[in-house]
Chains A and B, each alone.
Chain A
Amino acid sequence: MRSKEIVIRDVEKTFQTRGGAVQALSKVNLNIEPLSFVSVVGPSGCGKSTLMNLLAGLDTPTGGVIEIGGERVSGAQEGNAVVFQRDLLLEWRTVIANILLPFELHGVTWLDRKDRTTNRQLAEDLLRMVGLEGFGDKYPFELSGGMRQRVSICRALIQRPTLLMMDEPFGALDALTREQMMYDLLRLYDQYKCTVVFITHSIEEAVFLSDRVLVMSERPGSVVRDIKIQLERPRNLSTRMDARFLDCVKEIRGVFQSQGVLAEV
């Protein structure tokens, strides 16, 4: 399946809480090119996760429209895959069984031996790509945090998504693992070409990974800056020293400063 253009028009989201209505998003307008890697950065509580949930069909907007390939989003759709901040592996399933869960939920029957072996092969290939060869029969509790999140990325990629959404996937990892995960993710992106929407609060992460970074304001969130990242791929360690990389990071910092999100003492 081919990736499609995403159109977000005047999207608003208001949550009804006990303390009254809270507006999370106000008038978000966006077009996302197919196959592009787009990051959304913003302060905590700015509604970036809300935006992703709306895009994934896990929640419905209170105003506006989201369309993928001209079709209005309502509910989770085939071709979309989501990676959450927590790995959300099922503790009672082995690594392989976790990765194959999407297939099991959608009609790969137990009886179909051929499908089962090819699917297992697919899962093993993915594990090899994320450096977890031979871990297929382990249980999640036997893995470290970084390994677990890799498995959850495999679970998303095995669905061959045309749109991959990631909600602060490296947020719970230590700095070094986090950096390694970025390199791994870029390699996977090269291999599994699809549109990626990546939610993060790390400016460097967003710039390093993306073709385009959307900067969001504090609540109610809206896109206040849209920055093209003109760094060629493949990107590597030296990319992070590149003057253009540093300029982009500086520019985004500047936006946060002018918004009052970042302030010098």
Chain B
Amino acid sequence: MIQRMNWRQGLSVSVTLIGMLAVWQLICVLFAVPAYLLPTPLDIGSRLISDGDVLLRHTGITLFEIVAGFGLSVLFGIPAAVIIVYSRYFSQAVFPLLIGLQCVPMISIAPLLITWLGFGMITQVVIAFLIAFFPIIVSAVVGLKSMEKEMNMLAMSLRASKLQIFLYFRLPRALPSIFGGFKVGITLSVVGAVVAEFVSSDRGLGYLQLVANAKLDITMQFCVIVMLAVIGLVLYNLVGLIERIALPWYRASRGGE
């Protein structure tokens, strides 16, 4: 049943999208909007195909930065959250600092990173990492701390060891919250990588966007936006798909969302 609902929803979303593109096309044609101000969807479509190789190459670079940055933030964020939850010092002294740091716009340290790390891809990866790191660590800490006192009593009565309490009780209990952090993190990673490319890069979609802008090539800019939208959607839904496979009990218990 849920399957059928998805299929129907998918249909109505695509019909709406096609309708909106049609209106856009119509407006451009009817009012003779010049192509250097607003290209038609068909222009953009044909450009996507004709310049496909360039776009794909830069997309690959940006995609790599996003995935590497996000991957690093998961790799460091989850163990860091575990340390914070189990260590009094870290939860009392370090965690509040981390939350405070979250308020600093990570983009603002991009120029510093260029000074330290240079113009290479590593700067982009580090920014994508930093920007995704905080939501991931914060939601993992919240999730890992959400085990109820009674649940702990049950675990004790079952004579579970500390490690077993973590693996059988605490971690599974935290997974929905952890995945929530992943979803925010992956979206922010896309933003981080692109903005980092704006600031310092000679490749990637952010760079392509700047070059197209300088050349007043507005169709190309739209192509970049399309590619970024595709990346964002695909990655977000990939995380959602993994969540659904890993936590079959969770979505269903929320009435399928």
Of A58, A91, A105, A140, the residue contacting B153 (CB under 8 A) is: A58
The CA-CA distance from A35 to B150 in the complex, in Å, is 27
The CA-CA distance from A41 to B110 in the complex, in Å, is 66
The CA-CA distance from A101 to B159 in the complex, in Å, is 11
Residues of B with C-beta under 8 A to A140: 249
Beta-carbon contact of A80 and B157 below 8 Å: yes
Residues of chain B in range 161-186 having any CB-CB distance to chain A below 8 Å? 164, 168-169, 172-173, 175
Contact with B along A30-64 (1 / 0, CB 8 A): 00000000000000000000000100101000000
- The reply on B250 being an interface residue by CB < 8 A is yes
Beta-carbon contact of B150 and A92 below 8 Å: no
Contact with A along B136-159 (1 / 0, CB 8 A): 000000000000001101101111
Beta-carbon contact of A88 and B150 below 8 Å: yes
The CA-CA distance from A56 to B153 in the complex, in Å, is 10
Residues of chain B in range 113-150 having any CB-CB distance to chain A below 8 Å? 150
Contact with B along A127-159 (1 / 0, CB 8 A): 000000000000111000000000000000000
Beta-carbon contact of B247 and A92 below 8 Å: yes
Beta-carbon contact of B250 and A92 below 8 Å: yes
At the interface, is chain B mostly helix, strand, loop or mixed?
helix
Residues of A with C-beta under 8 A to B159: 75-78, 105-106
Task: Please name the residue on chain B nearest to A78 by beta carbon.
Answer: B159
The CA-CA distance from A105 to B168 in the complex, in Å, is 9
Of B160, B164, B173, B249, the residue contacting A139 (CB under 8 A) is: B249
- The reply on B252 being an interface residue by CB < 8 A is yes
- The reply on A181 being an interface residue by CB < 8 A is no
* A53 with B153, Cβ < 8 A, contacts A105-B158, A105-B159, A139-B253 known: yes
Residues of chain A in range 56-102 having any CB-CB distance to chain B below 8 Å? 56, 58, 75-78, 80-82, 84, 86, 88, 90-93, 101-102
Of A78, A81, A84, the residue contacting B150 (CB under 8 A) is: A84
Beta-carbon contact of B247 and A84 below 8 Å: no
The CA-CA distance from A84 to B173 in the complex, in Å, is 19
Beta-carbon contact of B154 and A102 below 8 Å: no
The CA-CA distance from A82 to B153 in the complex, in Å, is 9
* A91 with B249, Cβ < 8 A, contacts A101-B168, A105-B164 known: yes
Task: Please name the residue on chain A nearest to B253 by beta carbon.
Answer: A141
Contact with B along A171-210 (1 / 0, CB 8 A): 0000000000000000000000000000000000000000
The CA-CA distance from A140 to B172 in the complex, in Å, is 15
The CA-CA distance from A23 to B159 in the complex, in Å, is 28
* A101 with B158, Cβ < 8 A, contacts A58-B153, A88-B151 known: yes
Beta-carbon contact of B249 and A141 below 8 Å: yes
Residues of A with C-beta under 8 A to B250: 91-92
A-B pairs with lowest CB-CB distance, top 3 = A141-B253, A82-B157, A139-B249
Residues of chain A touching chain B, judged by Cβ–Cβ distance below 8 Å, are 53, 56, 58, 75-78, 80-82, 84, 86, 88, 90-93, 101-102, 104-106, 139-141
